[in-house]
Amino acid sequence: FHDTRHEAITRLSKKLDVLDLARMVGIRDLKILMVYYNATASEIAERLG
């Protein structure tokens, strides 16, 4: 279950900002979201332009 959730959250993170992502998957604490969401340095750089 956790692997599937991790994969889904990582994929959705490419389309949603962090707060919308947390709301969509039902996570209230962003610390918990960070367990499942692991952006790479290149993904972060791409978002920054």
Q: How confident is the model over 1-44, as pLDDT tens digits?
A: 678 888 999 899 889 988 999 999 999 999 999 888 888 899 88
The pLDDT value given to residue 47:
82
CB atoms within 10 A of CB 37: 18
The size of the chain, in residues, is 49
Domain boundaries defined on the chain: 2-48
Give burial (CB, 10 Å; 0-12/13-18/19+) of 9.
buried
Q: What is the pTM of this model?
A: 0.69
How many CA atoms within 13 Å lie on the side-chain side of 27? 18
Contact 34, 10 (CB under 8 A): no
The dihedral formed by the CA atoms of 16, 20, 23 and 28, expressed in degrees to the nearest 10: 110
